[in-house]
Amino acid sequence: MSEAYDDGLSALRQGAQSLIAHNALALASTGPAAGAASPSAARQWWNLPAKIAAGRRIANEELQKYPTHNDAGDAMRHAEWSQRMAKEIGPIFSRLAGLEHEGQNIVDSVDQNIGRFVDPEAYAGRPVAGVGQTIAESGMDLRNNAAGIRAARDGSPIDPAGLKVAPGPSPY
């Protein structure tokens, strides 16, 4: 029993070391900062550095095509970013990346608005409109992200008529 247990632990250890080595190699050769990752590396469920690099690369490419905000271009950017990520690195990571992005925008907005209240002098001269985004805007973006993931899953083009191009009133 003890020998089988030790063999099992040894096999697990070797598997973990192999995953760590592959992740380190992916990070060193492509690196998230470089924005490059091989398509096969990005499809490996465990290869987070390659997935992050691919997601950043796709985001930058879509931002170049659609640099506007809260309009049809912004809606298409979110949908195409999510569609391309779903195809290249998987729909689950695409959904998680979108959630993280929108969540971070909300956190930044709350942080800066609380900062204005606590220390108004530190934020003097900064435009209020440039402080993050509303929950309604994040909801709009997440809806457009979902349309892109759905299009990737169905193998269909994104329907611009199904995208939300302006946030509704904030529920708060």
CA distance 49 to 41: 9
Q: Which residue type, as a one-letter code, is found at position 75?
A: A
Using only C-alpha atoms, the chain has a radius of gyration, in whole angstroms, of 20
What number of CA atoms fall less than 13 Å from residue 117's CA on the CB side? Answer: 6
Q: What is the pLDDT of residue 163?
A: 96
What are the b/e assignments for 57-73, b being 16+ CB within 10 Å? bbbeebeeebeeeeeee
Q: What is the pLDDT of residue 27?
A: 47
CA-wise closest residue to 152 among 69, 67, 93: 93
pTM of the model: 0.67
Q: What is the pLDDT of residue 28?
A: 47
Residue 135 burial (C-beta neighbours within 10 Å; 0-12, 13-18, 19+): middle
Digit-coded pLDDT (tens) for 16-31: 666 555 555 444 444 4
CA-wise closest residue to 73 among 148, 154, 165: 165
Residue 164 burial (C-beta neighbours within 10 Å; 0-12, 13-18, 19+): buried
CB-CB contact of 30 with 37 (8 Å): yes
Q: What is the pLDDT of residue 44?
A: 66
pLDDT tens digit at each of 172 positions of the chain: 567 666 766 666 676 666 555 555 444 444 444 444 555 666 666 788 888 899 999 999 999 999 999 999 999 999 999 999 999 999 999 999 999 999 888 887 777 667 666 677 766 666 554 456 788 888 999 999 999 999 999 999 999 999 999 887 655 4
Number of other CB atoms surrounding residue 15 within 10 Å: 10
